[in-house]
Chain A
Amino acid sequence: MPGKPTVAFYWCASCGGCEESVVDLAEGLLDFVGMVDIRFWPVAMDFKRSDVEAMPEGSLLASLINGAIRTSEQEEMARLLRRKSQLVIAYGACAQLGGIPGLGNQFGHDQILRLAYEDCPSVQNPDKTRPQSHVQDNGRTVTLPHLHQVVRTLAQVVPVDYSLPGCPPTPEMLQQAITRLLSGERPAKGSVLAPDIALCEQCPRKDSKPADLRLEEFKRPHLTRLDPQKCLLAQGLVCMGPATRGGCEAACVRGNMPCSGCFGPTSRVKDQGAKMLSSLCSNIAASTEPDIERTLATIPDPLGTFYRYSLAGSLLRARADRQR
């Protein structure tokens, strides 16, 4: 019996939100499993790694992998699924761009482990125990995955055919992508399966965006009473709309929050953070060095603002002088 096309879902360094977006298909999930057989989905179904290993090479139509790659185990699973799949899809911002875990590339291993296992106020660890990759136990060697030196996007580890952007992607995008692929359509390799236009183009507040912004200071959303109609940039917020791909239907802006950039850049941009910085800073009103500095100081964490989801996949990738 010629079975349905098969797919796998897997999660790497991620929060689980991407998995949640699959469940958010709601009744659509029934249509989804009507179209494809899910052969591997650790978060929801009981399959083992050995089930994947037993599959013939290239037998899965697609693996949808979410999360960044930061441990040896994640790298191993990404490579295994790559071999078993005709198509590998980077699902969500972390797989596509590095995402929030990619911000860890500002720090060295020791800094990260010391914070997590010693300095964090809720941690009690008087022996300063740290996770080891090898431990002897009754004569057996027990192993755990180790952290890689840097957090990587999926495409920095295995060839990726398509990306579905977003934190997380919308259920509609997943449904559309699978329908397109099942119909035999194959967009150019490397395509991002979302509209290739800036979010501002789709923004319901587009008409209130002035041609000349002349920004005096930047405001933070939790300290500001926001006009629910007016362009957020015009209200002095760092809204990543100009440098971010559309396709989310401006969900955050409709919720009266500025875009934080999770859909990544359009195809014409290599480095989302640099592009946003460029657009935003050239619109500052100040024109002397101290005044410009004063305006810019109202953005306390520029890396975390402009590169919130894209640091690992950016041109510089990670802090150059990090210690291991």
Chain B
Amino acid sequence: MSAHTQVGAVPAAVGTWEPRIVAFFCNWCTYTAADLAGVSRMKHAPNVRIIRVMCSGRVDPQFVLEAFAKGADGVLIGGCHLGDCHYVEGNYKAIRRVQMLRRILRGMGIQDDRFRLEWISASEGEKVKRVINDMVDKLRALGPLGLPRRFQEWDRELAPLEQAVEAEAKEASAHAG
């Protein structure tokens, strides 16, 4: 596996692998709750990279796919409880998209536990901790998704011809020169 231990892109061997979660938290509820969890000195697993967005309705499905494509093992979206959205209906847009996106992910072989939507209000620091720890446990059970590594593996079949063509071109230009 040592050939694939490239910084930041590819998970290493399962022994040293740690789940990596990209979390999109809404500014008004879940991000504030994560802040509360921190101020209250709650401990949760360190496997999450939080990205603050203004609303769970701002999370474009492309963000989720790109996170997976770039090496996330899980994606978590956190927003205000239904009815509590600062922008009235942003979280309704989020849940509608998430339900369809889950079907797309299933069709692409990405397990349900890798993608999660949670409503966490500003006062629920405890829930932030619980959700993150629970998701980390589930991802550990699933193992790495490692899409960048899979892409590299698929594309290895292009290398032989690429090299052959380069060599041929070099030879042709040598003859021409």
Q: Mark B74-101, 1 if CB is under 8 A from A, else 0.
A: 0000000010000000001101110111
- Provided the pairs A270-B66, A287-B92, A315-B62 are in contact, do residues A281 and B161 lie with their beta carbons within 8 angstroms? no
Cβ contact within 8 Å between A277 and B97: yes
Nearest chain B CB to A128's CB is how many angstroms away? 25
Cβ contact within 8 Å between B104 and A273: yes
Q: Which of A57, A76, A287, A316 contacts B169 (CB 8 A)?
A: A57
Cβ contact within 8 Å between A293 and B99: yes
Does chain A have a CB within 8 A of B141?
Answer: no
Nearest chain A CB to B20's CB is how many angstroms away? 16
Cβ contact within 8 Å between B62 and A275: yes
Cβ contact within 8 Å between B108 and A303: yes
- Provided the pairs A315-B66, A318-B154, A321-B109 are in contact, do residues A282 and B165 lie with their beta carbons within 8 angstroms? no
Cβ contact within 8 Å between A274 and B96: no
Nearest chain B CB to A154's CB is how many angstroms away? 13
Does chain A have a CB within 8 A of B69?
Answer: yes
Cβ contact within 8 Å between B104 and A320: no
Cβ contact within 8 Å between B108 and A320: yes
Cβ contact within 8 Å between A302 and B104: yes
Does chain B have a CB within 8 A of A157?
Answer: yes
In the complex the two chains form, what is the Cα distance from A275 to B169 in whole Å? 41
A residues 13-43 touching B (CB-CB < 8 Å): none
Does chain B have a CB within 8 A of A72?
Answer: yes
Cβ contact within 8 Å between B97 and A281: yes
- Collect the chain A residues with CB atoms within 8 Å of residue B66's CB: 270-271, 315
How many A residues face the partner with a CB closer than 8 A?
A: 44
Cβ contact within 8 Å between B109 and A270: no
Most chain-B Cβ atoms within 10 A of its Cβ — which of A149, A287, A314, A316? A316
Cβ contact within 8 Å between A278 and B104: no
In the complex the two chains form, what is the Cα distance from A218 to B69 in whole Å? 30
B residues 38-94 touching A (CB-CB < 8 Å): 57, 60-62, 64-66, 68-69, 82, 92-93
Does chain B have a CB within 8 A of A289?
Answer: yes
Residue of A nearest to B99 (CB): A292
- Collect the chain B residues with CB atoms within 8 Å of residue A72's CB: 161
- Provided the pairs A274-B65, A320-B145 are in contact, do residues A302 and B100 lie with their beta carbons within 8 angstroms? yes
Nearest chain A CB to B67's CB is how many angstroms away? 9
Nearest chain A CB to B157's CB is how many angstroms away? 6
Nearest chain B CB to A274's CB is how many angstroms away? 4
Residue of B nearest to A314 (CB): B65
- Collect the chain B residues with CB atoms within 8 Å of residue A322's CB: 109
In the complex the two chains form, what is the Cα distance from A271 to B96 in whole Å? 18
Q: Mark A299-320, 1 if CB is under 8 A from B, else 0.
A: 1001100100000001111111
In the complex the two chains form, what is the Cα distance from A314 to B65 in whole Å? 9
- Collect the chain B residues with CB atoms within 8 Å of residue A6's CB: none
Does chain A have a CB within 8 A of B6?
Answer: no
Residue of B nearest to A157 (CB): B158
In the complex the two chains form, what is the Cα distance from A274 to B59 in whole Å? 11
In the complex the two chains form, what is the Cα distance from A135 to B176 in whole Å? 37
Does chain B have a CB within 8 A of A284?
Answer: yes
Q: Which of B108, B158, B172 contacts A319 (CB 8 A)?
A: B108
Does chain A have a CB within 8 A of B107?
Answer: yes
A residues 136-159 touching B (CB-CB < 8 Å): 148-150, 157
Does chain A have a CB within 8 A of B130?
Answer: no
Does chain B have a CB within 8 A of A216?
Answer: no
21 contacts between A and B (CB under 8 A): A150-B154, A274-B60, A274-B64, A275-B60, A275-B61, A278-B61, A280-B100, A281-B97, A282-B57, A282-B93, A282-B96, A287-B82, A289-B99, A296-B99, A302-B104, A303-B107, A315-B66, A315-B68, A317-B69, A320-B145, A321-B109
List 16 other contacts, CB 8 Å, given A83-B169, A106-B108, A320-B108.
Answer: A269-B62, A273-B104, A274-B61, A274-B62, A274-B104, A277-B61, A277-B104, A280-B100, A282-B96, A289-B95, A303-B107, A316-B68, A319-B109, A320-B109, A320-B147, A320-B150
